[in-house]
Structure 1
Amino acid sequence: MAKIAPFSAWPWENLGTFKYMLLGPLVGSIVHSGLQGVDHLASNWCFHVFFISFLRFALYMWYTNICNMLFLTRNRLILQQGIDFDQIDKEWDWDNFVISQALLASLAIYIFPDGFANLPVWETKGLFVIVVIHVLVSEHLYYWVHRSLHGNYLFTPYHSFHHASAVPQPVTAGSTTFLEEVLVTTVIGLPVLGCCLSGYGSKTIIYGYVLVFDILRCFGHSNVEIMPQWIFEYFPFFKYILYTPTYYSLHHTEMKTNYCLFMPLYDVLWNTLNTKSWASQKKISLAAGKSTRIPDFVFLAHCVDITSALHVPFLFRSFSSMAYSARLFLVPLWPFTFVVMLLMWAKSKTFLLSFYNLRGKLHQTWAVPRFGFQYFLPFASEGINKHIEEAILRADKLGVKVISLAALNKNEALNGGGTLFVKRHPNLKVRVVHGNTLTAAVILNEIREDVKEVFLTGATSKLGRAIALYLCQRGVCVLMLTPSTERFQNIQQEAPANCQKNLVQVTKYQAARNCKTWVVGKWITPGQQRWAPAGTHFHQFVVPPILAFRRDCTYGELAAMKLPDDVEGLGSCEYTMGRGIVHACHAGGVVHSLEGWTHHEVGALDVDRIDVVWKAALKHGLQPVSSLSK
């Protein structure tokens, strides 16, 4: 067992989410003061400490969210790589420093009650005092502390954890060891304490200094260069007063340089300035607004329901890194999300959601601003198709090679499985792919070889047709649930003459009372599931998935595949899928891109290509989810 360095672990490391209980005494003091009246509450410093802590937590979280809004920041990114699951896990407890500083602030108030009692709202001289202490004391102290942490003795046990985050984010500032944060607390606490003890302190100065300190930390750790170049051109000395995100990013990639807190002046004075600092900043700043990275592959997704829209990476990064499930904390946000949905419905464009790299190729996920139920509104179909078409044309203009359509974006009734767009634009260079061939392959390979009879709902859909034709050629009797004799006969006639007898039309669920293998392509109610005999396994390709109602039956997941292990920059889960797992239609587009196929995959499935696509997926390291659970 590895030896842990003293003061590297946090004292409450084993408490998990119960660590927030440490702030309980603060809350108790606030409640007690509140019961005595508003005036008493305003003079209670426990209230101010708690309120500042809340503001700090919100600041770091929302600054991080904004940085992850790739549709706004993609052309201003400094390090061109995604935030992966490993970094998110390392930074899971980034808010430890907020808790520790709240506790230490409470202790300081207890030790120096006279220094904080009856502070005025504003004191002009206090602004001068706190700036002087920060520049002459805090900046200098931080520089040497930071430089010491990069020494041979302290770096590995203490500071290496912070540098383990490959891509700086605002919350990376809090991804530190306990000893580091004690030192940072000293840096931020000295100006506040000195200002108050000097007699020039005020509530506004304390609030302002702490929040400006945090804003500048977020700014430097953001990985998004927003500092305009003209400031340095017109005011050259300003480059020594305030660092930039590029400046701090160079410290992460080329250590032993750029140690300063906020002022590069100290790196200049002590000869640790990275000579590329402002040249790199100028290059990124001037390139802003230009698309410098063209993706090879785009997956065009959509929201499923209102609460799942909150699963996007730029809202709750930690929540997005886990498979989606309904949570209680989402309920209060439902009204706000509903209003946003209406605004998106009124006027919006397809936006970049996330990206990752695979085999040296950039893969992006774009999202159509539409929710699942909207796809079933007759009057909304034209607008939805317009958004999808705009996304395809945009991808074509950029030089994207393959664009894959998510479940409802390729709905047969909506656009014929993408056929509409290919017919409208016959000269498209981008290949439009619905990915259903791999979806069919995944489902078919889940069905055991010894199965002789299958009950199929959604039997005349694109997937249902392909599954039925493939199984009947394998000698499996397929009970196709469909009221349309004409559509059934059309499919039956596509099968080889000696296999047509294996396709049987049924019109009621009762026909499957003795069949233990169901393939569900159309949503079925718990009442309809009752007709399945005990021990039935439900395979499914329906969105949303059916309810697991029967305890005496088993339910398969939606068709999905795990991406290869060498995928880079993937840090969000795709809806209810686990980490690194994507829907089969998404994986189908990935395979299409990796193979370099030049045909469109739209409309009806080519049954003869099911095995071809399946073998290609396995060749490139994609794994069926069903095999992972065995």
Structure 2
Amino acid sequence: MGAPLSAWPWDNFGTYKYLLYGPFVGKVLYEWFYGEEQSYYNLSWCLHLLILSGLRGLIHVLWGSYSHMFFLTRNRRIVQKGVDFKQIDKEWDWDNFLILQALVASMACYMFPFLQHLPLWNVKGLIVALILHVGVSEPLYYWVHRKFHGDYLFTHYHSLHHSSPVPESFTAGNATLLEHLIMTVIIGTPILGASLMGYGSASLIYGYVLIFDFLRCLGHCNVEVVPHQLFEKLPFLRYVIYTPTYHHLHHSDKDTNFCLFMPLFDALGNTLNKKSWQSPKLPSSGSGNGDTVPHFVFLAHMVDVSSSMHVQFVFRSFASLPYTTRFFLLPGLPVTFLVLLAMWAWSKTFLVSFYYLRGRLHHTWVVPRCGFQYFLPFATEGINNQIEQAILRADKIGVKVISLAALNKNESLNGGGKLFVDKHPNLRVRVVHGNTLTAAVILNEIPQDVKEVFLTGATSKLGRAIALYLCQKKVKVLMLTLSTDRFQRIQKEAPPEYQSYLVQVTKYQAAQNCKTWIVGKWITPREQYWAPRGTHFHQFVVPPILPFRKDCTYGDLAAMRLPEDVEGLGCCEYTMDRGVVHACHAGGVVHSLEGWPHHEVGAIDVNRIDLVWEAALKHGLRPVSSFTQ
């Protein structure tokens, strides 16, 4: 049993908590259909509360998006850690206070009916509210905040807010019911006071509440946005407005910097942190934590317009779950498409996420190209130019390894990255396609007692390596290909005593008695029909094949789970579960951790498959398929 008023009444409601807005929506609809005609000056107070709640939520979301735009903010981040899944889950219900304050505001409207008929504008009300804020709200918050840092109140209430290692806009709303009840009084005092004096207005309510939230989010955004030159030219401003760095000092030193927005009260209360006036200069000038050089970069790409929204700077909560198409994203597709066009025109790679593993910084950069573009002949040169620029940039800043995602290493595009290594023989950064580990993951999914497999995409990089590896294990490989020359070249690579285990087939009918299919080329439901009942489809094709057969099983794309000691990981890689990455990504991670000096481009070295697999397991990476031996 928790302390009184520490839990929210609707904690167990889940998403159904938003039904608490239902009475407001119902009243608005009733007035629209059966009440007086609504005008700009005569909107329902319920509608005002709904609009205000939406705008307040939008402010927090936009500040959260900005905080995760690492390509814009990385030089000015205060805490250089990433927001992990634990913090995201803890702050999942950050918007509880919006519901609470909407309910309290509705009660205030019934208690004080004049609040339902305020004028649009009253300048005197703004002045009175400012006076009440400085004279009442600021000192009240300061005093209460200090009290909440006492042993009992901190342990049972305020520790939740301080449990987030990386402050963000959502952290501002992550607090207990008691704290937000007090915050409701603090934010409501200037509004109600000015209104009781006869100076209230709709613009006062909207303006004060939205500015209040804006400043709260600013202080928690983890990005220094206030230029230090402003305080050097106008020193008195440092007592009037706090900065994100100033507020961060409170989270790192809990006995200092208690103010709401005005450091003046910390100065008067002798709780001003000694670093308060020096700290903002470093992150705001870009010379503090700086652009930390990653050891490893995974160069990803967009799959489609919808999945491009599966990044932290769009919706942090959405990115923390495996990607699926969701209806609430559909209205944003036109805007997203326009943003993609702008990104393509900019022709830059973007840092979208990062994490730490074994003390090493790992980045994910994204090439702003969607999957369909990789199959347009006229787009090849432009895509390769972007990948080349990313590799050269990584080489310039000192990255050790850069790994290429699926389509960025397409054989027809750049020969699995070989094009760039040949063009720039003096690269210090190691270019890795990661397909060796991808092959290892697929091969270790296949049960040891299997004697025959059917392989599509048989002459691709992965198909070739899988066929050569399996034939040396005395597994018969039915290689689907129409090119006899390509088949014979691969067959000649196998030791003479194993070449007979490689068999060329040209039709799917040849596999009608084979229950192990390895799919490296997309197959239609009709082609799947030739597989016998009980077949398992292993696959390394992007996008994955459709699970058409109910009497068969389908494997996921080759993937591995990162070690438990990974830090700062807060987004899922496309459709993968939390902490799981595509095998080619994991292959680059292993290459980096091992410190291997060679490039991994072009054809897969079959003799290294077991070596890479053992290295991955040694570093704590684990396969995720249920079919793994």
TM-score greater than 0.5 by the shorter chain: yes
**Does structure 1 residue 112 correspond to structure 2 residue 123?**
no
In structure 2, what is the equivalent of residue 548 of structure 1?
547
Deviation at 1:250, TM superposition (A): 1.1
Deviations 1:383-407 (A, max 9, x none): 0000000000000000000000000
Report SS of the residue matched to 2:9.
coil
In structure 1, what is the equivalent of residue 5 of structure 2?
7
Equivalence map 1:575-614=2 (5 Å) = 575-614=574-613
Equivalence map 1:223-234=2 (5 Å) = 223-234=222-233
Q: Where does structure 1 lack aligned partners over 5 or more consecutive residues?
A: none
Moved over 6 A (4+): none
Deviation at 1:602, TM superposition (A): 0.1
- Which amino acid counterpart does residue 27 of structure 1 have in structure 2? V
Cα distance change, pair 629–235 in 1 and its aligned pair in 2 (3 A): farther
Equivalence map 1:214-613=2 (5 Å) = 214-287=213-286, 291-613=290-612
Q: Tell me if the contact between 1:126 and 1:205 (Cα under 8 Å) persists in the aligned partners.
A: yes
Report SS of the residue matched to 1:366.
strand
**Does structure 1 residue 20 correspond to structure 2 residue 5?**
no
Equivalence map 1:105-254=2 (5 Å) = 105-114=105-114, 116-254=115-253
Query: Which moves more between the two structures, 452-461 or 57-66?
Result: 57-66
- Which amino acid counterpart does residue 20 of structure 1 have in structure 2? Y
Deviation at 1:423, TM superposition (A): 0.6
In structure 1, what is the equivalent of residue 89 of structure 2?
89
In structure 1, what is the equivalent of residue 73 of structure 2?
73
Deviation at 1:346, TM superposition (A): 3.3
Cα distance change, pair 516–407 in 1 and its aligned pair in 2 (3 A): same
Query: Which moves more between the two structures, 378-387 or 327-336?
Result: 327-336
**Does structure 1 residue 58 correspond to structure 2 residue 62?**
no
Deviation at 1:490, TM superposition (A): 0.2
Q: Tell me if the contact between 1:33 and 1:41 (Cα under 8 Å) persists in the aligned partners.
A: no
Deviation at 1:48, TM superposition (A): 1.2
Distance 1:193 1:339 in 2: 43
Q: Percent identity?
A: 67
- Which amino acid counterpart does residue 94 of structure 1 have in structure 2? W
Structure-2-length-normalised TM-score? 0.98
Q: Tell me if the contact between 1:297 and 1:589 (Cα under 8 Å) persists in the aligned partners.
A: yes
Deviation at 1:344, TM superposition (A): 2.9
Deviations 1:501-543 (A, max 9, x none): 0000000000000000000000000000000000000000011
In structure 1, what is the equivalent of residue 30 of structure 2?
32
Distance 1:373 1:340 in 2: 17
Deviation at 1:288, TM superposition (A): 5.2
- Which amino acid counterpart does residue 33 of structure 1 have in structure 2? E
Distance 1:556 1:98 in 2: 43
In structure 1, what is the equivalent of residue 47 of structure 2?
47
Distance 1:547 1:233 in 2: 62
Distance 2:257 2:563 in 1: 37
Cα distance change, pair 373–598 in 1 and its aligned pair in 2 (3 A): same
Q: Tell me if the contact between 2:82 and 2:355 (Cα under 8 Å) persists in the aligned partners.
A: yes
Q: Tell me if the contact between 2:85 and 2:570 (Cα under 8 Å) persists in the aligned partners.
A: yes
Report SS of the residue matched to 1:352.
strand
Report SS of the residue matched to 2:152.
coil
Deviation at 1:225, TM superposition (A): 0.2
Cα distance change, pair 499–488 in 1 and its aligned pair in 2 (3 A): same
Deviation at 1:118, TM superposition (A): 3.2
Deviation at 1:28, TM superposition (A): 1.6
Query: Which moves more between the two structures, 565-574 or 290-299?
Result: 290-299
Deviation at 1:627, TM superposition (A): 5.5
Cα distance change, pair 90–405 in 1 and its aligned pair in 2 (3 A): same
Distance 2:216 2:259 in 1: 11
Cα distance change, pair 285–347 in 1 and its aligned pair in 2 (3 A): closer
- Which amino acid counterpart does residue 7 of structure 1 have in structure 2? L
Cα distance change, pair 194–233 in 1 and its aligned pair in 2 (3 A): same
In structure 2, what is the equivalent of residue 103 of structure 1?
103
Deviation at 1:566, TM superposition (A): 0.2
Q: Tell me if the contact between 2:80 and 2:289 (Cα under 8 Å) persists in the aligned partners.
A: no
Distance 1:101 1:607 in 2: 63
Distance 1:229 1:604 in 2: 53
Q: Where does structure 2 lack aligned partners over 5 or more consecutive residues?
A: none
Structure-1-length-normalised TM-score? 0.98
Q: Count the aligned residue pairs.
A: 627
Q: Tell me if the contact between 1:34 and 1:40 (Cα under 8 Å) persists in the aligned partners.
A: no
Q: Tell me if the contact between 2:445 and 2:628 (Cα under 8 Å) persists in the aligned partners.
A: no
